[in-house]
Structure 1
């Protein structure tokens, strides 16, 4: 499909930081709109992240973690932010080991997703892997989460029903399901 996205482009005219946090950096930019008028765009700069669908014998490893902004615990695949200069696969391996203690083999890219396109430049890279060995977790200070092995089909059904409602987890599970349909020899 050929598109003419240039007619939609907004040109940055200038901007300023509004807030510089440990994780998030909020900016306010002035832009020229396609019709020539000026407007303001406020957005969050994020370093990006990686997320992992880890499979073992027909099950997927899910985490249960409290998320303060929404005031409740969520079902999630293991994930974490990229360090400066870190490649997405390296981040996926590191975060998986830190949060779960697992090392994996047979890594496959499931593409990426952009969870907040209206207010953030965050890109989450999605991966599928097989559990190879478990070890000791190395959680960050202040990080608390529980681990659960859930039948893969159940996890996909829970994402489809809305019981799992974390966007990266939904995308990762659905992409993993399609990947496995196209590559049945890799099994579940």
Structure 2
């Protein structure tokens, strides 16, 4: 199994006393979206154990800011947790789709916004204990609003909020979505000047 995006495979050379080696692999489920596996692995002490995990195609998240600094956010019902969640716009990569193209497509489809400039901030791995999922973090600015293009069966509200409001919701527990909490952390550091972004013009 290759390392997920953002993982430095070379770093494992010094960590050989921690590495688990796959001995066998069995497919548990192959769905339209998720692919579940059960692997037998050899542990560093030469004993064996079982690891169950989900293969995920990867995704993007967009921290989109209006010219006045307000953020584009969404409210969406998430069935697994049976709750309406407050989130940054996001979506999964289609097969063979480039990360920036996915970010531009998802922002347009879900919110109706297109952006003049984009910057890739980094990557996060939200559930490292049981999934290969990674989420590329993109920032977008120079927004223009147009019609949304929601997928069939997709229902969500789009609204805007200030950075102060978002951070207050994170602090109070109103925001619990991992990617949005990470996006808020990134945003806070970018605004303070502690972290920088390399902006590029939109490709579409």
Mapped partners of 1:2, 1:68: distance in 2: 37
Residue 47 (structure 2) pairs with residue 47 (structure 1): no
Does the 8 Å contact 2:190/2:196 carry over to 1? no
Query: By how many angstroms is 1:127 displaced?
Result: 1.1
- Tell me, which stretches of 5 or more residues in structure 2 are unaligned? 1-10, 198-204
Does the 8 Å contact 1:113/1:124 carry over to 2? yes
Mapped partners of 1:43, 1:166: distance in 2: 20
Find the counterpart in structure 2 of residue 160 from structure 1: 171
Mapped partners of 1:132, 1:148: distance in 2: 14
Residue 55 (structure 2) pairs with residue 20 (structure 1): no
* Aligned counterpart for 1:134 among listed residues 145, 151, 154: 145
Mapped partners of 2:32, 2:46: distance in 1: 36
Query: By how many angstroms is 1:106 displaced?
Result: 2.2
Q: How does 1:16-165 map to 2 (within 5 A)?
A: 16-56=26-66, 57-165=68-176
Mapped partners of 2:91, 2:139: distance in 1: 15
Mapped partners of 1:103, 1:174: distance in 2: 23
- Tell me, which stretches of 5 or more residues in structure 1 are unaligned? none
Does the 8 Å contact 2:65/2:143 carry over to 1? no
Superposition RMSD in Å: 2.0
C-alpha offsets along residues 83-119 of structure 1, whole Å, 9 cap, x if unaligned? 1111211111110011011001221222111110100
The alignment's TM-score, normalised by the length of structure 2, stands at 0.86
Query: By how many angstroms is 1:2 displaced?
Result: 10
Question: Are residues 127 and 185 of structure 1, via their aligned partners in 2, closer, same or farther at CA, if it must alter by over 3 Å?
Answer: closer
Query: By how many angstroms is 1:160 displaced?
Result: 2.5
- Over 4 Å off, 4+ runs: 183-186
SS in 2 for 1:5: coil
